[in-house]
Amino acid sequence: MTSTQPAGALCADHMRYVLRIADGSLILGQRLGEWCGHGPVLEEDIALTNVALDLIGQARLLLTHAGRLEDRGRDEDALAFLRDESEFLNPTLVELPNGDFAQSCLRTLFYAGWQQALWTPLLQSRDAELAAIAEKSRKETRYHCEHLSEWVVRLGDGTDESHARMQSALNYLYPYVTELFVPDEIDGAAVAAGIGPAVDTLRAAWDAALLPVLAEATLELPGATPFRSTGRQGRHSEFMGFLLAEMQSLARAHPGATW
Partner 1 sequence: MNNRNEWPLWEVFVRSRNGLDHKHAGSVHAPDATLALQMARDVYTRRQEGVSIWVVPSDQITASDPGDKAAFFDPMEDKVYRHPTFYELPEEVNHM
Partner 2 sequence: MYTQAMDIPHGDGKPAAVDDPARAAAFDERAARGEFVEAKDWMPEAYRKTLIRQISQHAHSEVVGMLPEGNWISRAPSLKRKAILLAKIQDEGGHGLYLYAAAETLGVSRDDLIDALHSGKAKYSSIFNYPTLTWADIGVIGWLVDGAAIMNQVPLCRCSYGPYARAMIRICKEESFHQRQGFDALHTMMQGTDAQRAMVQDAVNRWWWPVLMMFGPHDKDSQHSETSMKWGIKRISNDELRQQFVDATVEQGKVLGVTFPDPDLRWNEARGHHDFGTIDWSEFWNVVNGHGPCNRERLAARVGAWEDGAWVREAALAHARKRAARAQSAAA
> Where do contacts with partner 1 occur on this chain (CB under 8 A)?
41, 43-44, 46-47, 50, 146-147, 150, 154
Binders of partner 2 among residues 78 to 137 (CB under 8 A) are 80-81, 100-101
- State the DSSP string of 123-172: TT-SSHHHHHHHHHHHHHHHHHHHHHHHHHHHHHTS-HHHHHHHHHHHHH
CA distances from 241 to 31, 95, 104, 157, 173 (A): 13, 10, 19, 35, 19
The residue within the footprint of partner 2, chosen from 94, 155, 189, 195 (CB under 8 A), is: 155
Residue 62: CB minimum distance to partner 2, A: 11
**Interacting span for partner 2 (CB under 8 A) from 75-83, 176-184, 190-198, 220-228:** 75-83
CB 31, CB 206: distance < 8 Å: no
| Spatial separation of the C-alpha atoms in residues 252 and 259, rounded to whole Å | 12
Residue 99 interacts, among partner 2, partner 1, none and using kind-specific CB cut-offs from 5 to 8 Å, with: none
Residue 56: CB minimum distance to partner 2, A: 5
Q: Long-range CB contacts (< 8 A, 24+ apart) of 31-36?
A: 31/94, 31/95, 31/96, 31/97, 31/98, 31/104, 31/107, 31/243, 32/98, 32/104, 32/108, 34/98, 35/98, 35/104
The residue within the footprint of partner 2, chosen from 15, 21, 52, 148 (CB under 8 A), is: 52
Amino acid code (one letter) for 77: D
CA distances from 161 to 42, 157, 222 (A): 22, 10, 19
Residue 199 interacts, among partner 1, partner 2, none and using kind-specific CB cut-offs from 5 to 8 Å, with: none
> CA-based diameter of the chain, in Å?
57
Closer to partner 2 by Cβ: residue 38 or 235:
38
* Residues 6+ away with beta carbon under 8 Å from 4: 126, 127, 128, 195
Residue 113: CB minimum distance to partner 2, A: 21
215 binds partner 2 (CB under 8 A): no
Residue 164: CB minimum distance to partner 1, A: 19
Residue 150: CB minimum distance to partner 1, A: 6
Closer to partner 1 by Cβ: residue 44 or 70:
44
Tell me the Ramachandran region of residue 41: left when phi exceeds 0, alpha when psi lies from -120 to 50, beta otherwise. beta
73 binds partner 2 (CB under 8 A): no
46 binds partner 2 (CB under 8 A): yes
Residue 254: CB minimum distance to partner 2, A: 6
The residue within the footprint of partner 2, chosen from 1, 36, 211, 215 (CB under 8 A), is: 36
Q: Which residues bind partner 2 (CB under 8 A)?
A: 26, 30, 33-34, 36-46, 49-50, 52-53, 56-57, 59-60, 63, 76-77, 80-81, 100-101, 153-155, 157-159, 161-162, 165, 246-247, 249-251, 254, 256-259
